[in-house]
Amino acid sequence: MLPWTKDLPRWLPTGGGLIDEDWSVRHRLLYRLLAASIGALSIYGALSGQFATANVATWLLPLVLLCIVAAATLPGRRLPSVLVSLGFTLACAAFVAMAHNQTEAHFSFFIAVGALALYRDWAPFGVFLMATTIQHAIFGTSHFGPMYGHGSSGIHPLVWAFVHGGAVLFAATFQIVQWRLAEAEEERAQANLDESRAQLTVAFEKTPVPMAMLSPDGRVLRTNTAYRTWLRLPDELPLDFRIRDLPIEAVDAAEPCMLDQLVAQNSTSTQMRQYRRTDTDEIMWVEVHGTKLHDCKGRLRLIFVHCLDVTESRRHQEELQEQLRRDGLTGLLSRAAFEHDLVGLTAGEEPISILYLDIDRFKSINDGSGHAVGDELLRAFATRLASTVPADTLVTRLGGDEFVVALAGPVTTGVQVGQALLASCAQPLELDGRTLQVSVSAGLAVVQDLSRADQTVLDADTAMYVAKRAGGNRLQIFSDDMRVAVRERLTAETRLRDALSGELNETLPVWFQPIVAADTGRIIGAEALVRLRTPQDDLLSPFHFIPAAEETGMIVALGEHVLREAVRRLDLWNDHFEYISVNVSPRQLAEPDFVPMLANVLSSHPSLDASRLVIEITETALLSTSIDVRERLLTIKSLGVRIALDDFGTGYSSLTWLQSVPADVVKLDRSFVAGLSADPRKTSIIQAVLWLARSLGMTAIAEGVEDQADWDALRELGCPSCQGYLFGKPTPPAEFATALHASLQAAR
């Protein structure tokens, strides 16, 4: 073997590389072309009269027809292609015979060999060359003259047959080169395709995201490991496995088919679906991302989907949303959720009853027992509340100890539920082994118009405030008159806030009312009473702004101002009278900084005898504060300041406080003084209190003395001091100083 022949196979095409679909297309083309050539030859022979002179064509054409029929019906690839090759050889031979062996007729062999190169297979290609050579040899031997066109061909006809066969082969050289180049390009393309498929397989199979390829008719073409693991599918799926065979079903049967939506939507789409696993009955949320792939003609070939199981994140999101809808402490509706649901509730035809509830004395419980007990109380109260109201009732905690209940129904329904809540709260609450008795104040308002829902909540709040001011533990129905009271309260709050931000001696002047010795009427002391000057230069009594100061906490700053001004005046007036008394509210007394502030005020007047300052504490303050009252008052007395028990006799435990509180002065309430001269029962009461005060080392002051007969009666009972309009109203410092001077002159 010659050396160059070793590389020959590498330069020649291999053949047989067409896929079945491409080979079938080319095969149909060639045998149909062969059939067309038979038709053309038949027409040519009939029109030219060549069938009579070239009788060889009459038996060649039937053979060609037989080859066509066999090529179209026989299975496989090799034999049908060989039959087509033989058919083309016979057809070319018939044409040459019908053309009387003219040289131009031989061109058909060159055309046929190029056409047979479409098979890209050596069998039909080689058979045609061999058949062509044999045909030339046979016909050249018997008809060498007409066949080759010269007499020398008769000496060596086989040589000329091979020459003609070689010429045909040479004519097909470029088809062979193109054939080989195409194979090389296909090999490179196949290599690239194999690499891409390998990469796709790795990316597809190894990714942890469940993925699948679906046909437009719902067949599952391919799945990755994550997809099969996720749905617990076998590694090998049946060829006809479809989406409907997956072990999941849509929770909402009315929901459109997922595949239909993927087909109908754009090339890329995302769907959120809720499914039920048919094998475990679990509910899961799946985010399906679909991408459609089309062929060159725009036809949908497959849909590539990857599925994200978002069940856990969905549940977490729902939990977060539920947390946002719930109050963190009590588990009731949050304010935002209540406002949202209230809109839906008011959309109905029935009126909506809104109850606003507040726990009475909650601050005292919270401060006295600790915030942990306060939180436990709120939780227990919320549970009691939720179990008492009807179903479909909105219950929320707005903040602190304020709760709101909203339910469909007229005012009668609201009253029934409100009374039921009051009765339920009458039962003690169990808090970690202890029982606690609480009561609530409730306000009721009714709304029909959606646009007034927020205002109705405020109306119910107003009614609740009225119920609390009336003593608590009651239900109050809102009326328009209450709105006026609230407006006045807000006005008072605004006035007081503005006054505290101004020049205090101008906006909040402190006046003084004289306290006199009962036997002589001489001024021995004074009570400091604050007034509020409006921008219109009107002076308002404490009745108009002290409640607002108590509720807002501004009483602390206001009380400090009054205390400082009283001490300053006491030091200024020196020893002209004995003392000045100053009222201290429960809010002030409970402030941790009250005693240090009082000590600071006294230290700024070092020459002043601290016993000349009297702090007045009401019995209400003693009841409502959560601090240790006795300890706080003893601390105040350690500064030298005296303590007065104001409005004595109006509470249910006055005698108890008289015994337990380290007071120096008892102020008899005006309700016992007014009409004293004409009421023997009042005389007996005051006589008893005076005796008790003296026995405990205290002095007494009778308040509200406005009648001369009452003063005379007090003197007869031995009351040491009196205060009231009979001796003088509260006046500005200058006027009080004048009255004090006149009193001193009269005493001399």
| pLDDT, tens only, 23-59 | 888 888 888 888 888 888 888 777 766 655 555 556 7
Higher-scoring residue by pLDDT: 50, 489: 489
From the list 697, 695, 631, the residue with the least C-alpha distance to 661 is 631
- Backbone angles phi and psi of 306, in degrees to 5: -130, 140
- Residue 262, pLDDT above cutoff 80: no
State the average pLDDT over residues 628-649: 86
What pLDDT sits at residue 289? 85
Instruction: Supply the pLDDT for residue 144.
Output: 43
**What does the pLDDT read at residue 145?**
46
Residue of higher predicted confidence among 43 and 10: 43
pLDDT, position 653? 43
Dmax (CA) of the chain: 182
Contacts of 495 by beta carbon, 8 Å cutoff, 6+ apart? 532, 534, 540, 545
pLDDT of residue 438 exceeding 70, the answer is yes
SS3 string, 675-733, reads CHHHCHHHHHHHHHHHHHHHHCCCEEEECCCCCHHHHHHHHHHCCCEEECCCCCCCECH
The fraction of the chain above a pLDDT of 70, given in percent, is 84
**At 642, phi and psi to the nearest 5?**
-90, 160
Residue 405 has pLDDT above 90, yes or no: yes
Contact 360, 444 (CB under 8 A): no
Cα separation, 454 vs 331, in Å, equals 22
pLDDT computed for residue 138 by the predictor: 60
Q: With cut-offs at 50, 70 and 90, classify the pLDDT of residue 320.
A: confident
- Rank 104-113, 247-256, 681-690 by mean pLDDT and report only the highest: 681-690
Name the helix (H) or strand (E) containing 259. helix 258-264
Find tokens 């090529």 and name the residue.
Answer: 71
- On the 0-12 / 13-18 / 19+ scale of CB atoms within 10 A, 625 is buried
Percent of the chain with pLDDT over 90: 25
Least confident of 52-66, 264-278, 410-424, 480-494: 52-66
* Contact in structure between 354 and 456 (CB atoms under 8 Å): yes
Q: What is the pLDDT of residues 304-314, one digit of tens each?
A: 888 888 888 88
Q: What tens digit of pLDDT does each residue of 129-172 get?
A: 777 777 666 665 555 444 555 455 555 555 555 666 566 666 66
In degrees rounded to 5, what are phi and psi of residue 67?
A: -65, -40
Contact 81, 27 (CB under 8 A): yes
pLDDT above 80 for 504: yes
Written as six digits, the tokens of 600 are 């600071």
User: Which residue has better confidence, 560 or 429?
Assistant: 560
Q: Does residue 405 contact residue 393 with C-beta atoms inside 8 Å?
A: yes
Length of the chain: 748
Pick the most confident of 315-329, 359-373, 522-536: 522-536
CB 564 within 8 A of CB 571: no
Q: Which of 35-44, 365-374, 664-673 has the lowest mean pLDDT?
A: 365-374
What is the reported pLDDT for 562?
96
Domains of the chain: 3-182 (no CATH), 207-315 (3.30.450.20), 326-478 (3.30.70.270), 492-743 (3.20.20.450)
- Highest mean pLDDT (candidates 67-76, 168-177, 702-711): 702-711
What whole-number distance in Å separates Cα of residue 412 and Cα of residue 389? 14
The predicted model gives 449-456 an average pLDDT of 77
| Bigger pLDDT: 526 vs 426 | 526
Q: Are 643 and 662 in contact (CB under 8 A)?
A: yes
Among 658, 661, 523, smallest CA distance to 580 is for 523
Q: Are β-strands 220-223 and 211-214 bridged in parallel, bridged antiparallel, or unpaired? A: antiparallel
Q: What average pLDDT is seen over the chain?
A: 82
Which of 263-272, 290-299, 398-407 has the weakest average pLDDT?
Answer: 263-272
Band (pLDDT 50/70/90 cuts) for residue 15 is low
- Say whether pLDDT at 219 is over 70: yes
